[in-house]
Structure formats: structure tokens, C-alpha cells
Amino acid sequence: MRDGSASRRFPSPAERHPSSLPGPSYNARRMSVRLLRPLLVVLALSATFTAIRGRELFVGDETKYGQVVREMRATGQVFLPTLQGTPFTHKPPVHFWLIDALTQVFGLYSIWSFVLPSLAAYAFLLWVMARHAGMLAAFVCGSFAMIWASAQTARMDVSFTALIALAAFLLERFFDRDDFRALLLAALSIAIATLIKGPMAPVIALTLFLFESLRRKRAPRGNYLPALAALIVLPLLWVVPAMLRGGSAYTREIVVKQTVGRAVGSWVHRSPPWYYLTHAPADLFPWFFLAVIGGIVVWRAGNPRGCFALMWLGAVLLPYSILSSKLDVYMMALLPPAAVVVAEYLRDPQPRFGRLAHRLNLAMLALQALIGLAGLTIGARFVKGPDAALLTLPSVRGVFVTLLLAAIAALFVVLVIARTLVASSVAVGLVPLAMFAYLGLVLTPLANELASTRPLVAALERQHVPGGDIAVYWIPFLWTHDLPRDLEQVHYVDPAQLQAMPPPAVIATSRAHANEIAASLRGYHKVDELRMIGKWFDVYRR
């Protein structure tokens, strides 16, 4: 039955070895244990090593967060972080507090200060998955391309995902054992996640609680008040004082724009409800095939852990699909339950479905080989403008060579040497990492030139004027590990501020928005131009 009370009893993870894969013998299961333990270490170390390989913060949220932390240190406004002197309402403060604390150790312009929270969260997520769902689920989760790549960023998505995962497993324990202590711990985890990324954490948790109650046709009876109090009161310990200190404008911003506005407005981006379904093959790469088939199999079989994971998956997908604002990175919270589904499917496939899983693994490896081959042969045809020339660089072509060779080698191993479900599953997770490791180890200097503010910093330095005599409009916030301290004084202005201030010696602007400050640019001549993140920027001087 699908309500979790099936007459067929599935062994719990505590009753079976949590990292075993289906195999013909005990030795095969022991082989999977010996294989998965070091692979989890490889995942963690590979993410760490590529994260610190001389990279800068990249333009976007990372450089914005760098500016938020810089202002926290300069003004002492720790409780209410600011951006350009205005309270920063896009995200709660805990992530910035962590970075600020790390800057006291490593410095404001060390990449360690910004990526350590994500790296630590990645290691914590692997531990949570291994502890509650087994090492196989941990390996699948850690090898999702989105999670592995995000572990090396200055963003808070991996921390949010890890806390949601912990809360979900605690909710499962609560339903299984009527354990209200587990419910309280889940509420605390959700409350911390709320202070890291916002109110979607309790939305996901409450939706999961509802779905699981409906699936089981019951909810444990007892005192829910402590858990509800933790869920509500802990975030309010920051939110209420922040609104009092920030004033009515700040309150309106976080309540109306950042909460209601993101849900129903179109000021960010509007996408249809099926947006994430069409993006699922990329978001769940490289485990999409097994996640889809595995979901069908575990649901039909009534696998309790698998069915719970499907409820968890739906509790993430449904609320985010309803929201007007949609980004693929929001689906990171969906990947841990997808990993559980894949692991449960691989652990207990019936003979027919075991063969299907192996064939799907081979299909994914073949697809990765085809992607590498296409990138080498016809990739430039699909890229327009200056970026097309990048695909002709030997270092960039090496990305596709690495993917192609890794996929071919994996296919050879699983077709000739180790024709087992264990080998093909491990290969599916490892082949993309070979490509991503190449990106981190070889292409970091190129990425810095294309995606960080290093070209802009160099252009401003060439003007040999004090930072306080430079105004920038529609320009990313400056951050490089060797940023001249004088450039911290650069003025980030809007058109009205630019007209009101004394004419600066240098003005830098996005070319696409230069007409908006045309009046202020009279009397200036262009002295430099540069390209970042695929866009052109110009430097003007009096």
C-alpha cells in the first residue's frame, strides 16, 4: 500500500547495511562499502581544491555579497547589513555573519572567507545523507553537478539545502516513531535555514508535513507547541528588531517586495508553473534518468523511505513552481530527496529493474561522451559573437576532451571489466566531476578574466586617479584578492547622484546603460573598454 503501512516490510537503514548495493554476494556489498567511503572523501576534497585554485569572486551575487561584508566591516552595521548604505533586504544576515567572522581570520580579500561556509555545508550535507540515508545516497547527492559546483561559491544555497535535508530526515523520524524531540530539532533546523535564506524553509517543511500526513493518513498526536515556537520565535528574534531599526521602508521592503513580491509579482522574472519540469534534465544532471525511473519504481513498490523522499521532493517542487520568481538554483533543495530515490532504487531493484538501471547508466555515460564530441566538432556553430572564439582555445577544447575521454573510459570499464550496477552507478557520478575538476584547475585564470571584476579593476588602475574621484554606474561591485584599497572609495551612483556630485575625473558605465547618464558624460571622452560576463563596459575621463 502507498500509505506507508504496507504488509510487505522493508528493512530500515539500521537493519541493512546503509551503503550496500544489490549484488550477488556479500563480497559485492563489501566492495561497494570500500568504494563509496573514499569516493565521498574525493568529492569533498575535489570541491575544496578547485574552490581555492586562485579564483576571484564572480560577478553577480558573489561580488554583491563581498560589498555587503565590506560595508559591515567599515560601518560596524552587523545586525542590519547594508548595501551602499541601505539595509540589504534580499537575504537574512546569518550567511553574512559567517563570512564576516571568517574575514577576521583570513582577511576581507581572501577567497577562503567567502567559500568556507559553502564547503563546510557541503561536507555537512554529505554527513547528513550518509548518516540518515546511507553512503550511496550521500554519493549520489554530492555528485549532482549543481550541488558540487555550488559548494565552491560564496552563496548560501548549499547551507540552506543541508539544513532542509536534516529537517526532512528528522520529520521522517517523527512520523515513524512519534518522536516529538525529533520534531523540535527539525523546527530548529528550519528556523536556522530561514535566517540563512528566507521564508521558503518553513514553507517547504510545512508542505512536507502536510504531504506526509496525507500519505500516511495520520499525524502523531502530542504537544506541537515547542516546535511551532522554535519555528516562529527564533527567526523573529532577528526580524522584529531589524524592522524596528530599519523603519517602515525596510519593513515594507522585506514584507511586500521580498516576500509577497517574489511570490506573485513579475519584477524579477515570470516563468510558467512547468518551468522546473522542463529544466529537470539539467537540474538533476547526471542522475536524471535514474531519478525518474527510480521514483516510479519505489512508489509502485511502496518503499517507505522512497515514498517519503517523493513527498519531500514534491514539497520543494510545488511551492517553487507556484512562485513567480524562478531560478534553477532553487531546485538544489530538491536534489537530496532525488538522491534518496535513486539510492533506494539501486539498493533494492527487482531483476528487471536492476538491468534497466544499468542500461540507464550506460545511456547517461554515452550521452556525456556525445556532449564532449559535439563540443569538439560543432559546438562553435551554436555560440554567437565574441564567445564563439573561446571554443577554439586549446584550454577550452580541453574541457570537451576531458569529458569525452572520461566517458569513453567509464564505458569501457563498465562494459568490459566491471559489468555491474555498482560500477556503472559510480561512473555516472564521477565522469562529470572529471570535467568540472578540469575547469577549476585549468580554466580558472580565463574564468577570472571573463566573469570577475579583474578586467574592470585593471582598467580603473590604468587611469592613475584616486578611487574617490571615480564614479561607476551600472557596474558590478569591485572585488579581487589584490584589490587596491584606494578603489574601495569608488562611488557607486545612480543618474541623479551623478548629476548632483562634483564631476569625477573618471566615469565607468555599462555600455547598455550609458544613454541613461548621457548628460553627465558630456565633456568626457572614452579612454578604455572591456568585456565582462558577456557585456561591454566603457571608461570615460574628463
Supply φ then ψ for residue 506, to 5 degrees. Answer: -135, 140
Residue 1 is assigned to a structural domain of this protein:
no
C-alpha cell at 536: 561591454
C-alpha cell at 303: 518503499
Instruction: Work out the number of other CB atoms within 10 angstroms of the CB of residue 213.
Output: 14
What is the Cα 393 distance to its own chain's centre?
28
- Domain check: are 435 and 460 in the same one? no
Supply φ then ψ for residue 193, to 5 degrees. Answer: -60, -35
Residues whose CB is less than 8 angstroms from the CB of residue 495 and which lie 6 or more positions away in sequence, other chains included: 473, 516, 517, 520
List, in sequence order, every residue forming a beta bridge with 528; answer none if it has no partner.
Answer: 539
What sign has the CA pseudo-torsion 458, 461, 463, 466? positive
Task: State how far the Cα of 4 lies from the Cα of 307, in Å rounded to an integer.
Answer: 8
Q: Which of 419, 445, 471 finishes a domain?
A: 445
472: three-class secondary structure by DSSP: strand
Q: Which of 285, 318, 347 finishes a domain?
A: 347
C-alpha cell at 347: 539498493
Residue 315 is assigned to a structural domain of this protein:
yes
- Domain check: are 147 and 174 in the same one? yes
- Domain check: are 260 and 330 in the same one? yes
Residue 295 is assigned to a structural domain of this protein:
yes
Answer yes or no: are the C-beta atoms of 88 and 81 closer than 8 Å.
yes
- Domain check: are 374 and 279 in the same one? no
- State the alpha helices, DSSP H only, in 134-224: 135-143, 145-150, 157-177, 180-197, 200-216
pLDDT value for 468: 95
Task: State how far the Cα of 538 lies from the Cα of 542, in Å rounded to an integer.
Answer: 14
- Domain check: are 329 and 478 in the same one? no
Total domain count for the chain?
Answer: 3
Answer yes or no: are the C-beta atoms of 268 and 325 closer than 8 Å.
yes
Name the amino acid, one letter, at 24.
Answer: P
Task: State how far the Cα of 221 lies from the Cα of 230, in Å rounded to an integer.
Answer: 18
Task: State how far the Cα of 380 lies from the Cα of 374, in Å rounded to an integer.
Answer: 9
Residue 503 DSSP symbol = P
Burial 356-379 (b: 16+ CB within 10 A, else e): bbbebbbebbebbbebbbebbeeb
Answer yes or no: are the C-beta atoms of 35 and 425 closer than 8 Å.
no
pLDDT value for 192: 97
Task: State how far the Cα of 226 lies from the Cα of 341, in Å rounded to an integer.
Answer: 31
pLDDT value for 347: 83
Supply φ then ψ for residue 179, to 5 degrees. Answer: -95, 100
- Domain check: are 41 and 161 in the same one? yes
pLDDT value for 17: 38
Residue 14 is assigned to a structural domain of this protein:
no
Residue 17 is assigned to a structural domain of this protein:
no
C-alpha cell at 182: 525529533
Task: Quote the pTM value.
Answer: 0.90
pLDDT value for 257: 62
List, in sequence order, every residue forming a beta bridge with 525; answer none if it has no partner.
Answer: 541
Stretches in the chain below the pLDDT threshold 70 = 1-33, 51-52, 256-270, 349-351
- Domain check: are 432 and 329 in the same one? no
Pairing of strands 535-541, 82-83: unpaired
- Domain check: are 380 and 463 in the same one? no
- Domain check: are 340 and 379 in the same one? no
Answer yes or no: are the C-beta atoms of 266 and 317 closer than 8 Å.
no
67: three-class secondary structure by DSSP: helix
- Domain check: are 35 and 131 in the same one? yes
Residue 4 is assigned to a structural domain of this protein:
no
Task: State how far the Cα of 260 lies from the Cα of 148, in Å rounded to an integer.
Answer: 31
Pairing of strands 491-492, 470-473: parallel
- Domain check: are 100 and 243 in the same one? yes
Residue 329 DSSP symbol = G
Q: Note if the bond before 281 is cis, omega within 30 degrees.
A: no
Answer yes or no: are the C-beta atoms of 15 and 116 closer than 8 Å.
no
Residues 492, 498, 504, 506, Cα dihedral to 10°: 60
Residue 143 is assigned to a structural domain of this protein:
yes
Task: Give the residue numbers spanning the domain of 537.
Answer: 453-541
CA distances from 145 to 112, 282, 432, 451 (A): 22, 9, 7, 19
492: three-class secondary structure by DSSP: strand
Q: Which of 391, 415, 445 finishes a domain?
A: 445
- Domain check: are 402 and 292 in the same one? no
What is the Cα 231 distance to its own chain's centre?
24
Residue 6 is assigned to a structural domain of this protein:
no
